[in-house]
C-alpha cells in the first residue's frame, strides 16, 4: 500500500494533508507524507474558551452517560484498528504488530473508562459530632490539556482522553510535531463517536497542530486546570513549574532509565526473551524500554553470550514487513544521538556489540540501526543518561544489596524488574528498600504494561500517574462535605464558642 492510500484509508485524504507549512515525514524512508496547516497561536485563547464553555455543559451530564461516549469511541477504534495501526507504523515506524498493539491499548482504556464511569466513588466518613455525616465527592475539574510524545502517538492520549471525558472534562490535544497524522486519524474516530452520541457540547475535544508555542499556550493558561505532558525530562522541567506557578495540576510522564536485575536463579531463556523485547522492541523508543542490565557476576558471561547470539539475528528493516522486529528510529537525529552516545560509552571503557547504521536491505532514507549491547565496567554518566534508542548497557553485581543500590542510582524512576526464582530476592526488590520506580515487575520485562495499573514514575520521571487503578482522581477535584442533620451546632475538636 502506498503512503497516500494508508493515510486515506484512515480517513485522511490528501486534500486534508497539504497546503500548509508543517512538513511531516515517514521514518520508514524519510519521505514527506504531509505538509499540514498549523493552528495559529492567536487561535489558542478561543480554543481554550470553547473548552471552558463545553465544560459548563459536560460536567452536568451524568457520568455513566459520559461513559457511553467513551464506549462509542472504543467501538470506533475497534473498527478502525487496522487502518489506525498502519498510520502509527507509517508515521513513527513501529512494526505492524506494535502499531496494532498501540490501538488495542486505546480500546482497553476505553473499556476501562466506560466501566469507571459508574464507579467514580467517593467516601462516607465517620463524623466525631452527633447528627453529622461526612462525605467526599469527586467533581469534574475543567479542560485537560494533553501534550503527547511521538513514541506512543495515540495510546497515551487515549489514557488521558478516556479518563478526562468520563470524569466530566473537555480535552485539548497537542500531539508531537513528529506524529500529527496519527493524532488526526485518532481524533476522527472520536469525532465519529461524538456524532453518534448526539448531544455532546461543541468544543468537547479539540486537536491543535503546531510546535512548542501551541503547547505553551496550554501550559500557561489558568483555564486549563490539568495539564498532562509526556516527553523528555528537559520538557518536564519547563512545563511542571509553569503549571504549578499558576496553581494548575501537572501530570508528567518523563524520562525512564529502566533496568533489569538478573539473579543467579533466573530462568535465563525467559530472561533473554524479555530482555530482547524490552530493549529492542519499538527500536528502544519506549519510555519503558530496558536500558540497563544488572547481572550477577556468576552468570554474566553466559547471559551475554546468549544475548549476543539473539542480537546477531534480529531482523532490522521495513516495519511493514511481517518478519521485521526492529524498525527505523524516528529520524536521523535520533540515530546520530545514539551513535554519539555509543562513542561516549566506548571512551568510558564500554565494549560495544552492534550499534551500527544499516543501509543495505532497508528502505533508503530511513534511520535504521542494529541494536547495541554495551558491556560496561560500571554505571558511568553515559549509562545514567537516557538515550531514546536501542542501547542496552550490561553491568555486573555480587550482592543483591549492591544490585539494588546500582539500580536506584540513576535520576529517573519509571520502570524496573528482577528475574529470579528466589522468593526472598523478588520480595526484597518489591519492598520499601527495593526498586524506587513507579513500576516494579518480577519475571517480566519493564515495558509493555497493561492499562489496568497506574502508569508513571518517580524522581525525574515526573511523579504523574495515568491510565488504570485510581489515576482518574488526578482528573477530578475532591470535595469534602460535612452535613449537619441535628438541631445543634457542636464544634469539632471540642471548641466552645457560645454567643
Ligand atoms: C510510553 O513509552 O510513553 O508500558 C508508554 C508500555 C506501554 C506504554 C509506554 N504500555 O511499554
Contact, 338 vs 279, CB < 8 A?
no
Residue 250: partners with Cβ closer than 8 Å, 6 or more residues away: 227, 228, 229, 236, 239, 240, 243, 244, 462, 464
Rounded mean pLDDT, 442-470: 98
pLDDT at 399: 98
- Residue 204's SS3 state is coil
**Is 437 one of the annotated active-site residues of the chain?**
no
Residue 266 · residue 421 · CB < 8 Å: yes
Which range is least confidently modeled, 8-17, 88-97, 139-148, 232-241?
8-17
Instruction: From the CA of 451, give the closest atom in ligand 1.
Output: 10
Q: Which of 219, 190, 184, 203 is nearest to 41 (CA)?
A: 219
- Output the pLDDT for position 155: 98
Q: What is the pLDDT of residues 2-36, one digit of tens each?
A: 999 999 999 999 988 999 999 999 999 999 999 99
Residue 442's Cα: distance from chain center in Å? 21
Give the span between the Cα atoms of 462 and 465, in whole angstroms: 9
DSSP β-ladder status, 22-25 and 32-36: antiparallel
Beta strands in 297-430 (DSSP E): 351-354, 357-358, 368-369, 372-375, 391-397, 412-413, 415-419
Q: Is the predicted pLDDT of residue 229 greater than 90, yes or no?
A: yes
Look at ligand 1, atom 6, and give the residue with the nearest C-alpha. 448
Q: How far is the CA of 466 from the centre of ligand 1 (A)?
A: 11
The Å distance, Cα 284 to ligand 1 centre, comes to: 11
Q: What is the pLDDT of residue 474?
A: 98
Please tell me the predicted confidence (pLDDT) of residue 16: 86
Beta pairing partners, 372:
354, 391
Taking 90 as the threshold, does the pLDDT of residue 296 lie above it?
yes
Task: Please give the distance, rounded to the nearest whole angstrom, from the Cα atom of residue 123 to the centre of ligand 1.
Answer: 32
pLDDT, tens only, 367-416: 999 999 999 999 999 999 999 999 999 999 999 999 999 999 999 999 99
Tell me the pairing of strands 391-397 and 372-375.
Answer: parallel
Q: How far is CA 24 from CA 32, 52, 180, 198, 434, in A?
A: 6, 31, 8, 33, 43
Count how many residues are written for the chain: 499
Is 32 a catalytic site residue?
A: no
Ligand 1 touching residue 160 (CB < 6 A): no
Q: How many CB atoms lie within 10 A of CB 297?
A: 11
Nearest atom of ligand 1 to the alpha carbon of 450: 10
- Whether 34 lines ligand 1, by a CB cut-off of 6 Å, is no
Residue with cell 490535544: 173
CA-wise closest residue to 285 among 386, 143, 184, 359: 386
Q: What is the mean pLDDT of residues 102-120?
A: 98
- Is the CB–ligand 1 distance for residue 252 below 6 Å? no
441 lines ligand 1 (CB under 6 A): no
CB 376, CB 348: distance < 8 Å: yes
Query: Which residue puts its alpha carbon closest to atom 3 of ligand 1?
Result: 287
Cell of 421: 526464582
Task: Give which of 293, 358, 296, 302 is closest to 326, Cα–Cα.
Answer: 358
Q: What is the mean pLDDT of residues 225-243?
A: 97
Q: How far is the CA of 17 from the centre of ligand 1 (A)?
A: 28
Task: List pLDDT tens digits, range 153-178.
Answer: 999 999 999 999 999 999 999 999 99
At residue 475, the pLDDT reads: 98
* Residue 151 Cβ < 6 Å to ligand 1: yes
CA distance 196 to 103: 20
Residue 1 has pLDDT above 90, yes or no: no
Please give the model's pTM, rounded to 2 decimal places.
0.98
CA angle, 242 as apex, 249 and 144 as ends, to 5°? 40
Query: Can you tell me the distance from the alpha carbon of 419 to that of 426, in angstroms, rounded to the nearest whole number?
Result: 8
CA of 16 to the centre of ligand 1 (A): 30
**Which of 78, 124, 360 lies closest to 70 in space, CA to CA?**
78
The secondary element (H helix, E strand) that includes residue 481 is strand 476-484
Q: Which residue(s) pair with 70 in the sheet? A: none
Percent of the chain with pLDDT strictly greater than 90: 99
In the reported structure, the alpha carbon of residue 306 is separated from the centroid of ligand 1 by a whole-number distance in angstroms of 26
Check 287, 375, 425, 466 and give the catalytic one. 287
Q: pLDDT tens digits for 316-354?
A: 999 999 999 999 999 999 999 999 999 999 999 999 999
Q: Which residues contact 436 (CB under 8 A, 6 or more apart)?
A: 408, 413, 458, 459
Q: What is the mean pLDDT of the chain?
A: 98
User: In this predicted model, what pLDDT tens digit does every residue of 31-85 receive, in sequence order?
Assistant: 999 999 999 999 999 999 999 999 999 999 999 999 999 999 999 999 999 999 9
* Candidate of 99, 449, 465 to mutate for ligand 1, largest count of ligand atoms within 8 Å of Cβ: 449
CB 9 within 8 A of CB 83: yes
What are the tens digits of pLDDT across the range 170-201?
Answer: 999 999 999 999 999 999 999 999 999 999 99
Q: Is the CB of 461 under 6 A from ligand 1?
A: no
Amino acid at each position: 500500500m502506498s503512503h497516500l492510500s494508508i493515510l486515506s484509508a484512515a480517513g485522511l485524504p490528501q486534500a486534508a494533508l497539504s497546503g500548509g507549512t508543517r512538513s511531516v515525514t515517514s521514518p520508514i524512508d524519510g519521505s514527506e507524507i504531509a505538509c499540514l496547516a498549523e493552528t495559529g497561536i492567536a487561535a489558542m485563547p478561543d480554543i481554550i474558551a470553547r473548552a471552558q464553555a463545553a465544560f459548563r455543559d459536560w460536567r452536568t451530564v451524568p457520568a455513566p452517560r459520559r461513559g457511553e461516549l467513551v464506549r462509542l469511541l472504543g467501538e470506533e477504534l475497534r473498527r478502525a484498528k487496522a487502518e489506525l495501526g498502519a498510520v502509527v507504523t507509517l508515521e513513527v515506524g513501529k512494526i505492524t504488530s506494535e502499531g496494532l498493539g498501540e490501538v488495542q491499548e486505546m480500546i482497553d482504556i476505553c473499556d476501562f473508562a466506560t466501566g469507571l464511569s459508574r464507579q467514580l466513588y467517593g467516601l462516607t466518613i465517620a463524623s466525631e459530632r452527633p447528627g453529622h455525616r461526612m462525605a467526599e465527592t469527586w467533581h469534574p475539574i475543567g479542560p485537560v490539556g494533553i501534550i503527547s510524545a511521538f513514541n506512543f502517538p495515540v495510546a497515551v492520549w487515549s489514557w488521558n482522553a478516556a479518563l478526562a471525558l468520563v470524569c466530566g472534562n473537555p480535552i485539548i490535544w497537542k500531539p508531537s510535531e513528529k506524529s500529527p497524522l496519527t493524532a488526526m486519524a485518532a481524533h476522527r474516530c472520536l469525532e465519529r463517536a461524538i456524532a453518534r452520541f448526539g448531544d455532546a457540547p461543541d468544543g468537547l475535544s479539540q486537536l491543535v497542530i503546531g510546535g512548542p508555542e501551541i503547547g505553551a499556550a496550554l501550559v500557561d493558561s489558568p483555564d486549563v486546570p490539568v495539564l498532562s505532558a509526556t516527553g523528555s525530562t528537559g520538557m518536564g522541567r519547563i512545563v511542571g513549574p509553569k503549571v504549578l506557578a499558576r496553581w494548575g495540576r501537572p501530570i508528567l510522564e518523563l524520562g525512564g532509565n529502566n533496568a533489569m536485575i538478573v539473579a543467579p536463579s533466573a530462568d535465563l531463556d525467559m530472561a533473554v526473551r524479555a530482555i530482547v523485547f524490552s530493549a529492542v522492541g519499538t527500536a528502544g523508543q519506549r519510555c519503558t524500554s530496558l536500558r540497563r542490565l544488572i547481572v550477577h557476576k556468576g552468570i554474566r558471561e553466559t547471559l551475554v553470550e546468549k544475548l549476543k547470539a539473539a542480537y546477531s539475528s534480529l531482523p532490522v528493516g521495513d516495519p511493514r514487513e511481517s518478519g521485521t522486529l526492529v524498525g527505523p528510529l524516528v529520524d536521523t537525529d535520533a540515530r546520530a544521538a545514539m551513535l554519539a552516545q555509543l562513542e561516549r560509552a566506548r571512551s568510558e571503557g564500554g565494549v560495544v556489540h552492534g550499534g551500527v547504521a544499516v543501509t543495505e536491505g532497508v528502505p533508503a532514507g530511513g534511520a535504521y540501526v542494529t541494536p547495541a549491547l554495551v558491556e560496561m565496567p560500571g554505571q558511568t554518566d553515559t549509562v545514567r543518561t537516557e538515550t531514546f534508542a536501542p542501547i542496552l548497557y550490561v553491568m555486573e553485581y555480587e550482592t543483591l544489596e549492591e544490585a539494588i543500590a546500582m539500580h536506584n542510582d540513576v535520576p529517573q524512576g519509571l520502570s524496573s524488574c528482577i528475574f529470579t526464582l528466589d522468593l526472598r530476592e523478588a520480595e526484597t526488590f518489591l519492598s520499601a528498600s527495593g526498586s524506587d520506580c513507579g513500576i516494579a515487575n518480577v519475571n517480566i520485562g519493564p515495558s509493555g504494561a497493561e492499562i489496568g495499573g497506574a502508569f508513571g514514575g518517580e524522581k525525574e520521571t515526573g511523579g504523574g500517574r495515568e491510565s488504570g487503578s485510581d489515576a482518574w482522581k488526578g482528573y477530578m477535584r475532591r470535595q469534602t462535605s460535612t452535613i449537619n442533620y441535628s438541631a445543634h451546632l457542636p464544634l469539632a475538636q471540642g471548641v466552645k464558642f457560645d454567643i
